[in-house]
Amino acid sequence: MGPCPTHFVSHFNLKSRRSPGISGLAVELVVLTFSFLDPQDIARCVRVCRYFADLIRSEVFLQYQIELARNGMVDCASSTLTMSERLQRLRKYSANFTNGVFDHETVDSHPEFLRRFRNLQWNYSTRPSISTSAIFGDMESSEYFLTNFTRGSSRAGVPARRWLMPVGTPGDHTRWMRSWAMDRAQDLLVTVEEANTNVQMFRLFEVRFCSLSGSETVRTDHPAAALPCVQVSPALGNDDMLQIDNLSLSIAAPYVVWKLITIHGQAQNCSIETFDWKAGQFVSRIDLGMQRAEMVLLDDTHVVVLPENAEWLPSQQIHIYSLSPPAASRPLATLQLPDLPLTPGERVVSYQLITSRHPPDPEAHFTADLSQSMIVLTQYIRGQDGEYVSHLLMPCSKLLAQAKLAADTARDSPAPSDSDSNELPIPVPWQAWGARGCLRLRVRPAHPEWVNHTSLIPWGSRMPVVAFHGSSPAVYVIDLNPSVARHARTLRDALSSSSDSESDSEAKGTATAIVEDVEAALPGVFDLGCAATPYVVYRFAVPNCLGGAAMRVVRMSMTGFTILADGGGRSGEVEETWTV
């Protein structure tokens, strides 16, 4: 939030003879009152009261709060810039983004990383499309290296950086890297190694907590971790058929969370375990039973679970669980999902559940508002007319509201009996929680010659979509933040207005990237039956620097986007980044 607003000296002079009412209050008191309001409410005050408008224009603190809300950002307490400087940077960021004025870079912008990568010996890689990092390994030497890319922002003060660091246990052929996660805000790198043992069919997983900054040359344990690593394994007992099939990681601010799938013969069991890495203690365990399920973090203390049905397809319900102790295996809330309208012959062939919530960059002066993030259910659909992808965008604020409502209701209700505690909550109908707050997209392959769909990875409240107009590709960015959408609509209306008012003159020549006719630009992409929430769409033309290669991944960042295309380079892909 920055310094307390009561420390500011107002430059707004009230008339000596004040009329009774709000204008009779001391300026310092009004500013202090505003400091407790949501920035969106402050912005509304400007349109209601001339006194408020004049006051807000005179106070840098209030201007900065409004500008943050308009851009879907929050202030970073670690910034050393004055509030006035941060406001100037944020306004410049806003102007550049809404006009498509980006800084462009490739891997060639990092020559030292490129030199080290070219000298790397590797014969396989693991490169998740949702991640900015990848593992490269050598099966013979058992050496593993982690690459990571921090996408910079000149306006937000985040330097672009690529680094290459050793992970795993070199020379140990009984171990191999399975997964990893990182959080730069906590300087935390968590790795998972799978290890074979002398016991038949028995494997264990070793979760290690490392310092991200300290592991650039040699793996270094995190100094704040109570334990350098923890071993995760099923109980041996007398049954050697029990084994861990998979362990996937997520990092919440106080916890490391993993989903565990245990196989016993033909049966399997899925669970979610929460570990406090600073205390060295397990916090909770959620037993999901025999169904496989997708899991993503909703915030630092809640998780969203999407079970599979008998046909290995996503269920029509999602569950919200609490990670905080004592977490039970009964969800806080169960929410119905909308029906997926399929024509005869169409079927879902695969799906994934991803989150747009990412840890903030510690150097940033301002960063994306995590409360405006979303959970995206992506379903790949195949039919007689080809394939398309359905993306259901669910704002985290809508999901958290249902979790809070359920928790408040449970707190005021009698404790459930043992027989009732294992039953799922009554599902909240889709019309009651999501119909007016979510958005569904139907995206076909951007180019007829591209074999595969482009993976679209959101960030915060922004979701990318790729489309062609003739031979020219463009990245469309859809922003679901309601404050951003309202501000964009104001800019768009000001541009189309013939008035010569002050607000219009300020807006002339700006916001050229905002799309006015969305249906004309992206025909059939927006599902009209699930598009009641406010949103804004930007269009950014992509220069012909990819050589016509198929776009494999388009990944949003806090202030821009990155495109990964097929072909080129030793890694077999081309990477281009545009940021503000």
DSSP letter (8 states) at residue 437: T
User: Looking at the predicted structure, is the pLDDT value of residue 26 above 70?
Assistant: no
pLDDT band at 44 (very low <50, low <70, confident <90, very high): low
Q: Which residues contact 164 (CB under 8 A, 6 or more apart)?
A: 113, 116, 117, 120, 145, 146, 147
Crossing angle of helices 482-496/39-48, nearest 10°? Answer: 30
The 10s digit of each residue's pLDDT in 108-131 is 999 999 999 999 889 888 888 888
Q: Mean pLDDT across the stretch 271-292?
A: 92
Average pLDDT in the chain: 84
Whether pLDDT at 216 is above 60: yes
Pair 377, 314: CB distance under 8 Å? yes
Q: At 9, is the pLDDT very low, low, confident or very high (cuts 50, 70, 90)?
A: very low
What class does CATH assign to 5-90? mainly alpha
Region 382-399 average pLDDT: 94
How far apart, in Å, do the first and last CA atoms of the chain sit? 23
pLDDT in tens, 286-335: 999 888 899 999 999 999 999 998 777 889 999 999 998 777 788 999 99
Interstrand relation of 439-443 and 317-322 (parallel, antiparallel or unpaired): unpaired
Vertex 477, ends 475 and 483: CA angle to 5°?
A: 165
Strand partners, 281: 276
266/202: higher pLDDT: 266
Residue spans of beta strands (DSSP E) within 184-225: 188-196, 203-211
Angle (CA) 258-262-266 rounded to 5° is 150
| Residue 320 and residue 403 in contact, taking contact as beta carbons nearer than 8 Å | yes
pLDDT score recorded for residue 95: 93
**CA–CA separation, 562 vs 181, rounded Å?**
20
Per the DSSP assignment, residues forming a β-bridge with 551 are 565
* pLDDT over 70, % of the chain: 81
Q: How confident is the model at residue 221 (pLDDT cuts 50, 70, 90)?
A: very high
The domain locations on the chain are 5-90
- pLDDT higher than 50, residue 15: no
Does pLDDT of 507 surpass 50?
no
Q: Per-residue pLDDT for 379 more than 90?
A: yes
The model's confidence at residue 448, banded by pLDDT at 50, 70 and 90, is: confident
- As a dihedral over the C-alpha atoms of residue 377, residue 382, residue 387, residue 389, rounded to 10 degrees, the angle is -10
Distance in angstroms (rounded) separating the CA atoms of residues 69 and 154: 20
- Identify whether 3 is preceded by a cis peptide bond (ω within 30 of 0): no
Using alpha carbons only, how large is the chain's radius of gyration in Å?
26
Q: For the segment 529-548, what is each residue's pLDDT rounded down to a tens digit?
A: 999 999 999 999 988 767 67
Q: What is the pLDDT of residue 418?
A: 56
Number of H helices, E strands in the chain: 12, 30
Cα angle, residue 405 at apex, residues 399 and 407 outer, rounded to 5°:
105
The 10s digit of each residue's pLDDT in 227-254 is 999 998 765 444 545 567 677 899 998 8
Q: Are 567 and 548 in contact (CB under 8 A)?
A: no
Residue with tokens 């990155």: 562
**Is 90 exceeded by the pLDDT of residue 57?**
no
pLDDT score at 365:
95
* C-alpha separations of 259 from 109, 270, 296, 439 in Å: 37, 7, 10, 28
Tell me which of 40-44, 478-482, 512-516 is least confident: 40-44
Tens-place pLDDT, residues 180-205: 999 999 999 999 988 876 655 567 88
Q: Which helix (H) or strand (E) holds 490?
A: helix 482-496
